[in-house]
Structure 1
Amino acid sequence: MGIGATAGVAAVGGIALSAQASSDSSSGSAGAAGSLAFDPDGFSKLTTTVTDTAGTEHNVTYHFWKAITYVANPVDETYQSLIVSAPVEIDGTAVDPTDAPILLANSIGGYMPSSVADATEVGGGGSAMGGGAAPSGAAPSSSTSAAPNANANSNTNATGGATASNQLLALAAGYVVIEPGARGRTLKNSDGEYYGTAPAAIVDLKAAVRYIKANKGLIPGDVDKIVSAGTSAGGALSSLLGASGDSPIYEKYLKELGAADASDAIFAVGAWCPITDLEHADGAYEWNWGANDLSTGKQVDQTVSKQLKAQFAEYQAGLKLRGLDGFGPLNARNYDDYLVEQYLQPSATTYLAALSDADRATYLAANTFITWSAGKATFGWDDFLTHVGARKKDTPAFDAFDLSAGENNEFGAGTTENRHFTAFGAKNDTTGLSSRRVAADIPEKLNLMNPMYHLVEKVNDRRSKHWWIRLGTSDSDTSHVISANLAARLDNLGDDVNHLYYWDQGHGANTDPGDFITWIADVTSFGKEKGADKKGKRN
């Protein structure tokens, strides 16, 4: 259906999404004051062309607000600011974004700093890493950051071949797009002190949400329908933002920054390949990839690998998770079967079913470990591991014995660049540290950075209840268990979880961005109740 004269739709990837008629009125009341008051008239009027996932072009006119500092007492305005893009005309028809969902798209990769200070258009956010990272939804680099943080996770978001980023697709669908910057682990002041390490990034994102909510009625969009999106470390932070809504453990940090007096709970989460649950990530990684050699052909230290696998088994048993779709209790003994049945075989089936007969035959001939029968792909875990091939990271993958991982830097403090954050890493340190124990503040920092800490019965009912989680099957930046555990925990709590893996895709893949845009419309009911005309008729 095309866009009507009063209230209509914008089609993105063949998907009809509501775009309401233009109006001068706004609802709600502003809760921010002084430096934290949003200026509704401080925009520039821009136009862009968005090609959706079906190849259709959409002409979008939107209001764009340049970098706005979202805290009263910023540590570094270069990173603690956000940009706002709100559509006002789509394919020649005026639209009103007042009640539209808000896509909060971060471009954080590797827990590095991300800035929108110089952004001049939608999708202008980027990481400080490597001279600037792609916007949320744009193709990343697959390399890791340079030494001394050689194991860092250095990508942001990816499209997997799509023609537009999540931000652009959202804008063309009538959504408001807000892109926050955030401090990251490499930032250092003139005294040599690191001021962007944990928990700076999540505190900044929470402050951005509080700014948005405090400006209800001034800032465009429905502040009660914020959907966070991010990839890799950005996906981890997006998950954490959704899991920890209004948690009091962040309050002292937010007060120091002069964050707005408002809620930081969000409505929904989009997380691609989240690098999270860091204190248990080494064990999960070895359980998953311990049998795979590095790209050099070298096998990792099997003694260390086996010790970490044992740690994973103990941790997994303690979680007491049940698999999706009635699988039953998840443990180290059956998790391979669970991943194969719940995610990997369905992923391969979807991929193969979409191929032409000739292309499918060619793929199957090259990958004989897959049995294709009655339109379904079947195979075993060991063959899948062989198919993926080399693992990306040495062992330990996250708390490196030589403190070389980006995550060691994420838990740095003061003038100390890198620190251990697990007892196992500290005990086996190879850098000559005088103490083989983690620092006293590390347990608190881990709680502040891990969504799993918050996802416990009756602890935080202010969490997001709608979750979109994605991972590439060939992604060995982390363990497949990490996102599967997150999904299982959420499902066990009764949340709405949309989780799948992309076949043969690596870290940062996003091969169904049009579906994500549709999902946002579905979970927020955008274009349904809010698309009704004055007589109560729905479009």
Structure 2
Amino acid sequence: MNISLEFNENNYTVREVCLEGKRIEYRAFENIVYVGNPVDTEHQRLSIFVPEQYYRDAKGKAPVKKPPVFLPNTVGGYMPGLPEEPGLDRSGKPNASFYAILNGYVVVSPGARGRGLRDENGVFTGTAPACIVDQKAAVRYLKYNRDRIPGDTERIISSGTSAGGALSALLGATGNHPDYEPYLEEIGAAKETDDVYAASCYCPITNLEHADMAYEWEFGGLSDYHWGDREGVMTEAQNMLSVMEKTLFPPYLNSLKLTGDSGEWLFLREDGNGSFKDYIVEYILQSAGREMGRGTDLTALNWLVIEDGQPTGMDWAAFIRYRTRMKTAPAFDDVFLSAPENELFGSPVTARRHFTPFSLKYTKASGEIAEEGQIKRMNPMNYIQDRAAKKAKYFRIRHGAADRDTSLAISAMLTAALRGRGVAVDYQLPWGVPHAGDYDPEELFDWIKRICQIE
């Protein structure tokens, strides 16, 4: 298959969309295969959407400054994602791409391979690190066409939710790292760089090899679980695994040598208490304070201490009971190999594998463990201290205070690690928000406007 990587600026359609009284008009360049040797042309393609106003402005005599590129992915659950055009999201509200066009930005929506994909020979083609490799290849395509594409490829802002938030974090933390080069060469990615300017990460399901212990640090002690229509009580064996996992988290957290916003060392004692827990509590209190500032009455929450109209403290254990447990132990590397993440770490010939020594030790499925390099490439925490990886200048991390899909510790550790390397991180735990993304488009694009210094 001979695929050109040159962008064709004449192959487009003009579209108009009006939602909630807001109207956008844009040119759609669709279904562009972004690698020269694709494994899956259904997913290894992207679409580019350019505000029609950009072309109107370009007809004037003065040079037109290229707008930033908004790069949202549609990956969820580490499943395959397809390009998505500006319009309505799953909840029936205008999606982030719609708002990006509305604000004058170029939107590039890349598809990506994901878990469960097979080729005609039955070979699994979407296992890790395929999803992040495809995202990097899409960035390289844009930079290869920097003189042809209307957007500013030096100001690419990635965005995603859940597993997509994890991919956005990976893009922001692993720019140009040689660990991914063999995979990019194999699919015929452009010979370009793949670092991005900024990363927006909603509830990132990341740091998977330590996510189980973090989950039990937070939810350990709660046996009853609530996941949609699935409710129940953990078995005796699951409770034992929870207790063991919980003890593993403080040593891991302490090994990171993280510091807080005032330079204090973030640590945990064996009992799970310490300055790291205090760090998260402070962000929860800030979230409650913002919510009260909007006029919400939180006085009925008996775990929240309110003095002079401001939240000043909280009962951590009562807060966790209030949130409730969602997943049984282990939450991510299931001992029966039944979790989505087990499929992510499969191999070309093996559907599911473990990715932690703990679950391998207690496996009930005679499972094998994924290769160390495969696991490493899916965790941005493994690259933040690595000088070979070019970090994005800016991160925006949002993890809903009501989100139980992963521990609040995951986003807190990511934030502290990035700030420790001098990265500017806008981090909040939005009050009452469950596992979700793109719920604050005005705030998101205000942030983009600030970091891009747009008047």
TM-score, scaled to structure 2: 0.91
Would you say the 8 A contact 1:472–1:509 is kept in 2?
no
Would you say the 8 A contact 2:86–2:95 is kept in 1?
no
Consecutive unaligned residues in structure 2, runs of 5 or more = 59-63
Match of 2:319 among 384, 388, 391: 384
Alignment of 1:221-370 (within 5 A): 221-292=151-222, 293-295=224-226, 296-299=231-234, 301-331=238-268, 332-334=272-274, 335-341=276-282, 343-355=283-295, 360=297, 363-365=298-300, 367-370=301-304
Residue 339 of structure 2 is aligned to residue 405 of structure 1: yes
Q: Kindly report the root-mean-square deviation, in angstroms, between the aligned alpha carbons of the 2 structures.
A: 2.0
Name the SS for the 1:472 alignment partner. Answer: coil
User: Aligned partners of 1:479 and 1:444: how far apart in 2?
Assistant: 24
Residue 372 of structure 2 is aligned to residue 443 of structure 1: yes
Could you tell me how far 1:513 is from its partner in structure 2? 1.8
Paired position in structure 2 for 1:171: 101
TM-score, scaled to structure 1: 0.78
Would you say the 8 A contact 2:160–2:200 is kept in 1?
yes
Could you tell me how far 1:510 is from its partner in structure 2? 4.1
User: Aligned partners of 1:262 and 1:349: how far apart in 2?
Assistant: 45
Residue 406 of structure 2 is aligned to residue 478 of structure 1: yes
User: Aligned partners of 1:512 and 1:231: how far apart in 2?
Assistant: 13
Could you tell me how far 1:438 is from its partner in structure 2? 2.2
Paired position in structure 1 for 2:25: 61
Would you say the 8 A contact 1:194–1:415 is kept in 2?
yes
User: Aligned partners of 2:386 and 2:127: how far apart in 1?
Assistant: 29
Would you say the 8 A contact 2:78–2:115 is kept in 1?
yes
Could you tell me how far 1:327 is from its partner in structure 2? 4.1
Deviations 1:40-75 (A, max 9, x none): 111111111244xxxxx3322111111100001100
Name the SS for the 1:251 alignment partner. Answer: helix
Residue 450 of structure 2 is aligned to residue 522 of structure 1: yes
Alignment of 1:88-167 (within 5 A): 88-89=52-53, 94-95=56-57, 99-116=66-83, 121-123=85-87, 135=89, 138-139=90-91, 163-167=93-97
Deviations 1:244-285 (A, max 9, x none): 000011111111111011110100000000000111111011
Deviations 1:141-188 (A, max 9, x none): xxxxxxxxxxxxxxxxxxxx9x42211111100001110000011101
Would you say the 8 A contact 2:401–2:432 is kept in 1?
yes
Paired position in structure 1 for 2:14: 45
Deviations 1:422-461 (A, max 9, x none): 111111111135xxx524xx2000111110111005343x
Match of 2:356 among 411, 422, 425: 422
Consecutive unaligned residues in structure 1, runs of 5 or more = 1-32, 52-56, 124-133, 140-160, 528-539
User: Aligned partners of 1:446 and 1:195: how far apart in 2?
Assistant: 16
Residue 37 of structure 2 is aligned to residue 73 of structure 1: yes
Matching residue's letter, 2:357: A
Could you tell me how far 1:375 is from its partner in structure 2? 3.2
Name the SS for the 2:399 alignment partner. Answer: strand
Would you say the 8 A contact 1:289–1:476 is kept in 2?
no
User: Aligned partners of 2:4 and 2:454: how far apart in 1?
Assistant: 31
Matching residue's letter, 1:41: N
Would you say the 8 A contact 2:164–2:204 is kept in 1?
yes
Would you say the 8 A contact 2:96–2:438 is kept in 1?
no
Paired position in structure 1 for 2:436: 508
Could you tell me how far 1:421 is from its partner in structure 2? 1.0
User: Aligned partners of 2:386 and 2:41: how far apart in 1?
Assistant: 37
Deviations 1:280-316 (A, max 9, x none): 1110110011123212341453321121112111111
Paired position in structure 1 for 2:61: none
Describe the shift of the 1:371–1:509 C-alpha distance in structure 2 as closer, same or farther (beyond 3 A).
farther
User: Aligned partners of 1:42 and 1:375: how far apart in 2?
Assistant: 58
Name the SS for the 2:154 alignment partner. Answer: coil
Would you say the 8 A contact 1:353–1:375 is kept in 2?
no
Deviations 1:388-443 (A, max 9, x none): 12x1111101110000000000011122111111111111111135xxx524xx20
Identity of aligned residues (%): 38
Describe the shift of the 1:509–1:110 C-alpha distance in structure 2 as closer, same or farther (beyond 3 A).
same
User: Aligned partners of 1:47 and 1:199: how far apart in 2?
Assistant: 36
Paired position in structure 2 for 1:431: 365
